[in-house]
Amino acid sequence: MNINDQFVQHRESFRDFIYYNCGYNKELADDLTQDLYIKVKEQVSKGNYYEQGKFKGWCLWMARNMILDYYKKENRSKTVVISDEKYNFIFTDCKEIEENREDEIINEERFNWLLRGVNRAVEQLHTGQRKVFLMRVVENKSFKEIINETGESQNTELGRFRNAKINIKKKLIEFKMAI
């Protein structure tokens, strides 16, 4: 049985697998199923598939990787960049802020509001969190450099940085609600 016949035989299984793993989005499942077919054809033509009776499993493995790649790409596109002379850093997964963006562009007023909010949020951090956050983001230091400078353990500094980002995001949401 050739590859086309095998793919057609299992096409519904592939589409259902993708459908259930993509949040029940029919259009996305159809698109990724078509992409899967193209990828399968490419891989077979490159000689990366050897007939061992495991075609369906091999295709499902590729479909899983395609779904993961899709969501990684989707998350990368949800990034808010904040930059000025004092601070220059990136927040990801700021969905509360992201949802209010019009036409994917932050206008000047919103940017200034966001920058003021970030400045206030950073000022309100605990001393350790603020120090690690500013060293990492503003001064662009590696965690090794931060650890050498502070004398704390790596886990402590990683935790402080993570908590600083979480607290800044919470503060930005609070500031947004106060407006």
* CATH code, 24: 1.10.1740
Same domain, 124 and 71: no
Q: pLDDT digit of tens for each residue in the chain (179 aa)? A: 688 888 899 999 999 988 888 878 889 899 999 999 999 999 988 988 877 778 898 998 999 889 888 887 776 555 444 444 444 444 444 444 444 444 444 456 666 677 778 888 888 999 999 999 989 888 888 889 999 999 999 999 999 999 999 998 888 887 765 55
24: left (phi over 0), alpha (psi -120 to 50) or beta: left
Q: Classify residue 152 by its DSSP letter.
A: -
**Strands of 35-170, DSSP E:** 79-83, 88-92
Residues 9 and 71 in one domain: yes
Are 36 and 64 in the same domain?
A: yes
Domains contained in the chain, number: 2
User: What pLDDT is recorded for position 156?
Assistant: 93
What's 124's DSSP letter? T
Same structural domain for residues 36 and 123? no
User: What tokens were used for 59?
Assistant: 């295709």
Closest CA to 83 of 140, 39, 148: 140
User: Containing domain of residue 110, as a range?
Assistant: 79-178
